[in-house]
Amino acid sequence: MAFTLAINPWVYVGKFDGNWSGDFIEQEHLSIEEEAALSTEELEALHAKRNSFPDLPLVNYTSQYGLGCFEGAKAYPQKDGGMKVFRPEENAARMAKSMIGLGMPGVDEELCVKAMLGTVKRNDDLGFTVKYDPEWEKDNFLSASAIYIRPFSWAEPGIGVNLSKNPWVVVINTPVSAYFSGDNFNACTTDMVRATPKGTGWIKCDANYVIPTLAKTKAVQAGFMEAIFLDAIEKKYVEEGSSCNFFALLKDGTLVTPELGDTILPGITRKSIITLAKDRGIKVEERKLPLSEVLAEAKECFVSGTAAGITPITSLTHEGDKTVFGDGKPGETSMSLLKELKGIQYGVVEDRYGWMVSVD
C-alpha cells in the first residue's frame, strides 16, 4: 500500500461563501472486517465511490487550468496509543498562503486544522486507522505506516480563465507506508525546470507537480530513486527534489539547505530538521547551495518531506558522472536525525516542542 487511494470513509468538505463553513461527511463503507473480506474488484469499486464527491463541479478553474493547491500531513499511531498529527497548524497556515498565492480566499486555518484532526478521529473511531507496531523501531520507522491527510482546494464552476472566488476545501485520509522503499538511494540531477523566479515554486500547488512528475518518472526509469532540480537561471545551484527539500552535510560538519525564496517550497519537515539539528549544536546554513560544492564537499545528503520523512541520498549522478557520498551507505547524521524525527512523530522520543497534536 505504498500510496493507495484507499480513501477512508470520513471526509470534510468546506466552502467559502463570504465565510468558511463545512461538514464532515461519512462516505459509503462497510465495517473494517467486511471490507477486508471483499474481493479486490469489490473493494476498488467501493474506494472509487468514496473518491467521488458529486457536489464538486467537473469543469472549473482547478480541473481545467490547474488553479488548485493542496497539503500533505500525517497522523501517526502513538506507541502509548492514540493518534497524533505532526504540526497541523503549519499545514493549515501554508494551505491558506498557497490559496492566497493563487488569488483565491485563503482557508480559515482553524477550520482546516479541525477538519484534519476531525477526519482522522472519525475514521479511527470506525477502525479505519493504523495500529502502532513495535517492529517499526528496528529500522528507525523507515517501514512504518501512518494515516496521510490530504487537504486540497477545488474551484467553483467556470470555463473562462479566471480566479476562484468561492473555493471548496476538501480533506481526505488514506493509509500510507514508506514513500521511498528498498535500498536504492541513488539520485540524479535533472535538466528540467521545476520553478522559476517570480513563479509559483513557493506555493504547494497542483501545477508545480507537472514537471517534477515527468522528471522523476524519467529518473526512476533510469534506475534512480529521485530527480534533483537545479536553479532555472544559472543551472548551478541545487534547489529541491521532485516533492522534497534537499540537505547536504558537508565534510566540515555544516548542514546546508537551499534558502527559501520564490523557487523553494517551505517544507515543514525542513523547518523541523533545522530546529533538531541546531539543538544538537550542528551548524546549519540556509543559503544558495552550489552543485559543485555538494559534489566536492558533502559527506551525506538527504531529502525531506512529509511523505519522504528523511530519505538518504547516497549518490548523485550529474550529466552521467556519479558522485558517491561517504561510504555510499545512508549517512550517520541523516539516520540519527531520521530516528529522532520519527521518534517524536511515533511517540517514542519526547515531543519537546509540542509538535504533536492529538486527534482526541
Single out the segment in contact with ligand PLP by CB under 6 A; choices: 5-13, 169-177, 179-187, 303-311.
303-311
Q: CA–CA separation, 185 vs 173, rounded Å?
A: 28
Q: Which is nearer to ligand PLP, 175 or 305 (CB)?
A: 305
Give the nearer residue to ligand PLP in terms of CB position, either 72 or 118: 72
Total residues at interface with ligand PLP (CB under 6 A): 14
| Strand 238-240 with 255-258, pairing | unpaired
Options 36-44, 164-172, 249-257, 261-269: segment touching ligand PLP (CB under 6 A): 261-269
Minimum gap (Å) between residue 96 Cβ and ligand PLP: 14
Q: How far is the CB of 150 from ligand PLP (least distance, A)?
A: 11
Regarding 265 and contact with ligand PLP (CB under 6 A), the answer is: yes
CA distance 79 to 135: 11
Cell of 152: 486540497
Q: Min. distance of Cβ 246 from ligand PLP in angstroms?
A: 9
| Only segment of 18-26, 99-107, 238-246, 341-349 that touches ligand PLP (CB under 6 A) | 238-246
Select from 8, 200, 269, 315 the one that contacts ligand PLP (CB under 6 A).
269
Q: Which stretch binds ligand PLP (CB under 6 A): 32-40, 140-148, 304-312, 341-349?
A: 304-312
306 binds ligand PLP (CB under 6 A): yes
Q: In this complex, which beta carbon is closest to ligand PLP, that of residue 123 or of residue 304?
A: 304
- Paired residues of 22 in beta bridges: 14
Q: Count of residues for the chain?
A: 360
Distance in Å, CB of 60 to ligand PLP, minimum: 22
Non-local CB neighbours of 49 within 8 Å, separated by 6+ positions: 27, 28
Question: Residue 153, interface with ligand PLP (CB under 6 A)?
Answer: no
**74 is an interface residue for ligand PLP by CB under 6 A:** no
In the complex with ligand PLP, which residue's Cβ is closer, 265 or 316?
A: 265
Verify binding: residue 268, ligand PLP, rule CB under 6 A: yes
Asked if 74 and 146 touch (Cβ cutoff 8 Å), the reply is yes
3-state SS, the chain, equals CCCCCCCCCEEEEEEECCCEEEEEEECCCCCHHHHHCCCHHHHHHHHHHHCCCCCCCCCEHHHHHCCCEECCEEEEECCCCCEEEECHHHHHHHHHHHHHHCCCCCCCHHHHHHHHHHHHHHHHHHCCCCCCCHHHHHHCCCCCCEEEEEEEEECCECCCCCCCCCCEEEEEEEEECCCCCCCCCEEEEECCCCCCCCCCCCCCEHHHHHHHHHHHHHHHHCCCCEEEEECCCCCCEEEECCCCEEEEEECCCCEEEECCCCCCCCCHHHHHHHHHHHHCCCCEEEECCEHHHHHHHEEEEEEEECCCEEEEECEEEECCEEEECCCCCCCHHHHHHHHHHHHHHHCCCCCCCCCEEECC
Query: Which position among 22, 158, 258, 305 is part of the footprint of ligand PLP (CB under 6 A)?
Result: 305
**Residues within window 280-299 making contact with ligand PLP, judged by CB under 6 A:** none
Binding mask 195-234 for ligand PLP (x = CB under 6 A): ---------x------------------------------
What minimum distance in Å lies between the beta carbon of 44 and ligand PLP?
A: 27
Contacts to ligand PLP from residues 43-72, by CB under 6 A: 72
Closer residue to ligand PLP (CB): 200 or 317: 200
98 lies in the binding site for ligand PLP (CB under 6 A): no
| 267 touches ligand PLP by CB under 6 A | yes
- What cell numbers appear for 271 in the block? 523547518
CB of 240 to ligand PLP, least distance (A): 5
Q: Is 101 exposed, middle or buried (0-12, 13-18, 19+ CB in 10 A)?
A: middle
* Binding positions for ligand PLP, rule: CB under 6 A: 72, 204, 240, 243-245, 265, 267-270, 304-306
